[in-house]
Structure 1
Amino acid sequence: MHYRQGFFALMTCMATLASSNSAVAQGVKPIDPSRFYKGVWLEVARRPMWITDGCVVGTTQYTRGAQPNEVRVRDACRKAGPSGAETVLEGVAEILDPGVNRKLEVQYNPLLRVRYDIVDYAKDYSWFIGISSTLDNLFIYTRRPPTKDRLRALVNRARGLGYDTSTLEFPWGPAN
């Protein structure tokens, strides 16, 4: 009987600690689109993809679109090093879950349409973890270049959410 009471006390304590964390747990709170889909995000970790081969210093810039659930997207990176030529891919996105604002489908061109889900983010909108709808791509973004410790913590957070982080690459520098 004492074990059961101890177990429930431990679970209550853990739940309290988890709720006091600076981030919002997966699926718990809607995103404020006026804060989230605005400005520049730095792509600090990602799984390798053919489209980002040789790309470093990746960024995504969001601006509000003409319609309430529309976002303009500008993805950019530098080829062959931080001072290399800039490669840009632009598109128009639709927020697929108005009110929650965590699902975004971007139409980059007539042949390239990609859906992204925001699975975790900081309450102060300083970082987020995103995935593609097919779950084969994982991304970690921040507003500023993170310290190595911060980047390591974000990778661990993604791993804690159940995502495979073993193949992540770090276009702004390693997490080690």
Structure 2
Amino acid sequence: MKAITCRLFVLALGLGAAGAALAQDRPARPIDAAKFYKGAWLEVARRPMWITEGCVAGVTSYARGDGPNQVLVRDSCRKGSEEVVLNGVGEILDPGHNSRLRVQYNPLLSVDYTIVDRADDYSWFIETSPTLDNLFIFTRKRPSSARLAELVARARALGYDTSTLEFPWSGKLR
């Protein structure tokens, strides 16, 4: 009995380590910054967090900044009839690969993001934070329910916990 318990413990430990190894802050293949960091992206799935509580119709808009690695960021959403906007200045942390971005929203709020997967045609991307506590799925246009389910499954296949995702464009918030 002790041997079985010990083996189950070792197996569980190994499976836990394997799951942790899957979901990591690993960047996607290189990103063409000129294609990616311009225009509007719809936030179609996210993990709940205090800053987005009650927000629907989230949009992140990018524009190139003054420097070669600078990106201007405008995050917006709707709370009731009011638009809530948070502007920031981003810096590409891995020039050439272009999948890591640090956004300074104000002197006290700086957030790092990593693009962990993207479409070849730049129609969607999956993003996380280095601590893996945030997960976002963005698309260029509103996806069908089937397409959204595929993107959630893709994030899950990468090892991310998708069980708490909310879908701000469908109004399905936790």
TM-score bracket for the superposition, by shorter chain length = 0.7 to 0.9
Q: Does 1:152 align with 2:121?
A: no
2:28–2:115 Cα contact (<8 Å) kept: no
3-state SS in 2 of match to 1:158: helix
Q: Which amino acid aligns with 1:57?
A: A
Rounded to whole Å, the distance in 1 between the matches of 2:29 and 2:62 is 20
1:104–1:116 Cα contact (<8 Å) kept: yes
Q: TM-score, normalised by structure 2?
A: 0.82
1:130–1:140 Cα contact (<8 Å) kept: yes
Rounded to whole Å, the distance in 2 between the matches of 1:164 and 1:31 is 24
Cα shift readout 1:65-105 (whole Å, capped 9, x = no counterpart):
0000000000000003xxx1000000000000000000000
Q: What is the match of residue 71 of structure 2?
A: 71
Q: What is the match of residue 114 of structure 2?
A: 117
Equivalent positions of 1:157-168 (< 5 A) are 157-168=154-165
Q: What is the match of residue 54 of structure 1?
A: 54
Rounded to whole Å, the distance in 2 between the matches of 1:168 and 1:29 is 24
Rounded to whole Å, the distance in 1 between the matches of 2:148 and 2:28 is 23
Q: Could you list the runs of 5+ residues in structure 1 that have no partner in the other structure?
A: 1-25
Q: What is the match of residue 87 of structure 1?
A: 84
Deviation at 1:28, TM superposition (A): 5.5
Structure 1's 44 and 116: CA in aligned 2 closer, same or farther, altered over 3 A? same
Structure 1's 28 and 108: CA in aligned 2 closer, same or farther, altered over 3 A? closer
Q: What is the match of residue 106 of structure 1?
A: 103
Q: What is the match of residue 18 of structure 1?
A: none
Rounded to whole Å, the distance in 2 between the matches of 1:29 and 1:136 is 22
Q: Which of 104, 125, 128 is the equivalent residue of 1:128?
A: 125
1:148–1:174 Cα contact (<8 Å) kept: no
Q: Which runs of 4+ in 1 moved over 4 A?
A: none
Q: What is the match of residue 171 of structure 1?
A: 168
Equivalent positions of 1:24-39 (< 5 A) are 27=27, 29-39=29-39
Q: TM-score, normalised by structure 1?
A: 0.81
Rounded to whole Å, the distance in 2 between the matches of 1:34 and 1:92 is 16
Q: Could you list the runs of 5+ residues in structure 2 that have no partner in the other structure?
A: 1-25
Rounded to whole Å, the distance in 1 between the matches of 2:132 and 2:123 is 23
Rounded to whole Å, the distance in 2 between the matches of 1:57 and 1:174 is 8
Rounded to whole Å, the distance in 2 between the matches of 1:52 and 1:133 is 19
Rounded to whole Å, the distance in 2 between the matches of 1:63 and 1:155 is 27
Deviation at 1:133, TM superposition (A): 1.4
Report sequence identity in percent.
67
Rounded to whole Å, the distance in 1 between the matches of 2:28 and 2:54 is 36
Cα shift readout 1:133-159 (whole Å, capped 9, x = no counterpart):
111000000000000000000000000
**May I ask how many residue pairs the two structures share in their alignment?**
147
